[in-house]
Amino acid sequence: MASKWPARIAGGAAGLANGLFGGGGGMVFLPILSRWGNLKSRQLYATCVAVIFPVCAVSAAMYLWRGGMNWASALPYLAGGLLGGWLGGKLYGRVSAKILKWIFAAFLFYAGVRYLL
């Protein structure tokens, strides 16, 4: 049986990124799962979402507990995010994996540029 320590260390790094930056753990998980997960592209994205969901829940609970969350500001984004998540799930099998990779790369590039400016 292969050691589970690399996966645990990667999970810790993703959780740390998510906790420090309020998100981004999925950006850590995706390349790690693509390298070590032996998953097809579609399984890769779905598994990443399944893994990051509890990590985000823990980060959100910590922010809430420490008084760092503003529900009034978060609710409009939550409503749109839920709708977008539902729509993305419906489109999941209809978009080619190659296009998904390009969209994800474009999003990362845009986010990185916006963050630096």
pLDDT digits (tens, 9 = 90+) for 67-90: 878 888 888 898 899 999 899 888
Q: What is the pLDDT of residue 109?
A: 92
Q: What is the pLDDT of residue 1?
A: 44
Quick one: which of 92, 81, 84 has its CA closest to 48?
92
Q: What is the pLDDT of residue 2?
A: 61
Give the pLDDT band (50/70/90) at residue 62: confident
CB 19 within 8 A of CB 57: no
pTM comes to 0.67
Quick one: which of 105, 99, 108 has its CA closest to 42?
99
